[in-house]
Structure 1
Amino acid sequence: MLTFIVKGFSNKEIAEQLFISVKTVETHKSNIMVKLELKTRPELVEYAVKKGLLVYEA
């Protein structure tokens, strides 16, 4: 799911790609952000890139 977030996909687009509900996407994203103490999607993207979890390609 992080890959799609980094690429700028909306929750709806992520849900369609993963064949899950939008609510499931929101729940997973929210759980990740709470555990990492992040508040925004950009913070989540920055965290993932800085930790080497994903490579940002502009």
Structure 2
Amino acid sequence: MFIEGFITGVITAILVFTILAYFRAGIEQRVKIIETRLGNSGPQKRGAIYLPEDESEIARQ
């Protein structure tokens, strides 16, 4: 019983791996399109955040 399950799992893993390897270019292209859409939406990065100096940092200088 264990052997049949193990063999079935190995065959399933090999099948999934070969399918992903075969369709890799198409999957990467779709992922790149989705990433650019997500990158274009949402808040845009502007400038930098300047933190005020502590009194201890001013004293060290």
The normalised TM-score by structure 1 is 0.31
Instruction: Give 1 or 2 for the bigger CA radius of gyration.
Output: 2
TM-score in terms of structure 2 length: 0.29
